[in-house]
Amino acid sequence: MAQNVAAGTDVAVFADIGPIPYIENVSNAAQYIKIADRFLELGARHFLFETFSSPEGLNEIAAHIKEVDPGAVVICSFAVSPDGYTREGVSLARIQKAVDDDKNIDIFGLNCLSGPSHMIKLLGKISDASKPLIAMPNAGYPTMVGNRMYFENNSSYYARGLAEIAASGIRIIGGCCGTTPEHISKTRRLLNEKNGIPQPDFSQKTYVEVEKVENRLWKKIESGKKVFVVELDPPANSDIRAFMDGAHMLRSAGADAVTIADCPISRARADSSILACKLKRELDIDPIPHMTCRDRNIIATKALLFGLNIEGVNNVLVVTGDPVPTSERGSIKSVFNFNSVVLAGYIRDLGEELARGPFRVFGALNLNALNFENQLRHAKDKLEHGVDAFLTQPVHSPRALENLKYARSELNGKILGGVMPIVSHRNACYMNSEIAGISICDEIIKQYEGLDKAQASELAVSLTTDIARSMEDYIDGYYMITPFMRTDLICRIIENLRKE
């Protein structure tokens, strides 16, 4: 019908395709191609893919359309918030690079999430675009009135903002959420009048140079030196004496870094990032705070990353995080704006604007998973989205060691092999039965039967040292998990390994 109405005019009709929900193990690109094929059958020659949060899959879709109709026009428009990132944490700079590199995408730009004023600023961040640009801002920002999203009537302000966007050289303009025929008609009148609409100033701003912080830990890893990274549990209250004493002992024993869990098993503990900053300032040891996706939205996450960067803490471990226990979900709400893959990509992209250097992102790798092929696929996805290295679950079985060897041959990222001393027979049985991601073979469990504390400690040191040595050829360092704050055991194991 639209094509019939436009027949004989200069009006171009576009097939408008918006985002579709992600379905696990289903190719989004294949679903979009199916929709595009239906439009092509109906005679569509022009396509607008709008409100996308990532360029992923668009190259495949655009290539398919061009193969069917080489003369088709493909526009890709992305929903970028005023801070320069999409809902999936993808930066505008990364989007531009992906689109610029794709010859099958003819035009790209922005729509939704931002009003005209913020969109002007976002467009100013697009440097040397190789393609024409499209801009379709929202009619400002809505408010909730009687359970309904409502945009204030600001059509005159909107029209002036859209006219300024046009004056900057943007080739295609329009409106997104909240815009009405009144908004567009007022913009048209302004453009016809050409009454001195100022052109936005996109000139480069001047910034004060800030000295970059050297990432000592990553420099050691890249040099080929086997590093020792030790996990210490944060305290469940404000008494950090044992934590700080343990970190001091580890530093003296030769530990290169300390990792700090982020409220493990969804129980409140001292904040991992604040403790990381304290370790960095007072002990000058490199910390790796864990960062879960469970408790922070995108605003809180970005603010926290800025704070860590200011303090020179530029290594983080990203994990999805343990879910809130079922019995407490009525009073404790999870956030989960991200999963660990999306969060890694967000941190990678954010690194482009950090004054004191980018982050190195660590991820988790479970060597004890029953379906380890699935773990490897997930790990490869993490590498593509910004993870630099993996900390593995502890090795306590021949199967875990074989999986480590397999991971070494399959993954390009650095690997820190997990080791964790077992302190008693009861501890071995508990971990094997009740701790997710840990598997201890029967042979090891039997060795602890009948041992007193001193004997179990000696066995823990010798056994863990042997396990660590068996991993040596397949790792870039050791990820050592401290049981029950027994830093004395970890220090002895480090001493054994450093002698070699």
CATH of the domain at 284: 3.20.20.220
Cα–Cα dist 315/218, whole Å: 9
User: Residue 187 domain-assigned?
Assistant: yes
pLDDT band at 351 (very low <50, low <70, confident <90, very high): confident
User: What's the rounded Cα separation, in Å, for the pair 174 and 242?
Assistant: 61
Q: Give a yes or no: residue 210 inside a domain.
A: no
pLDDT value of position 203: 57
Span 138-156, average pLDDT: 80
Q: What CATH number has the domain bearing residue 51? A: 3.20.20.330
Per-residue pLDDT, averaged over 201-219, amounts to: 72
Burial of 202 from C-beta contacts in 10 A (0-12 / 13-18 / 19+): middle
Q: Whole domain around residue 12: which residue ranges?
A: 2-193
Tens-place pLDDT, residues 175-191:
999 999 999 999 999 88
- The Cα–Cα gap between 111 and 62 comes to 19
* Model pLDDT, residue 251: 96
> Would you say residue 263 lies in a domain?
yes
Strand, helix or coil at 271?
Answer: coil
Q: Where are the beta strands (DSSP E) in 273-413?
A: 286-292, 315-319, 360-365, 389-394
Pair 273, 175 in one domain? no
Condensed to tens digits (0 to 9), the pLDDT of residues 444-461 reads 999 999 999 999 999 999
Give the chain's domain count. 2
Least confident of 36-50, 56-70, 204-218, 356-370: 204-218
212: which residues sit within 8 A by CB, 6+ positions away? 356, 357
- The mean pLDDT value of the chain amounts to 90
Q: Could you tell me if 145 and 243 lie in one domain?
A: no
CB 260 within 8 A of CB 286: no
Under the banding of pLDDT at 50, 70 and 90, the label for residue 425 is very high
**Is the confidence at residue 389, as pLDDT, over 90?**
yes
CB 109 within 8 A of CB 148: no
Q: Looking at the structure, tell me whether residues 54 and 168 fall in a common domain.
A: yes
Count of helix runs (H) and strand runs (E) in the chain? 18, 16
Residue 180 shares a structural domain with residue 226: no
Angle at 345 between CA 340 and CA 347, to 5 degrees: 90
Centre a 10 Å sphere on the Cβ of residue 205 and count the other Cβ atoms it contains.
7
Least confident of 65-79, 138-152, 283-297, 327-341: 327-341
The rounded distance, in Å, linking the Cα atoms of 60 and 56 is 9
Q: Kindly state whether residues 144 and 224 are assigned to the same domain.
A: no
- Would 365 be classed as within a structural domain? yes
Confirm whether 270 is domain-assigned.
yes
Q: Are residues 233 and 308 in the same domain?
A: yes
What is the predicted pLDDT for the residue at 331?
64
Query: Quick one: 240 and 184 in the same domain?
Result: no
The reply to whether 79 and 140 lie within a common domain is yes
pTM for the whole thing?
0.81
pLDDT confidence band for 200 (50 / 70 / 90): low
Split at pLDDT 50, 70, 90, the class of 198 is low
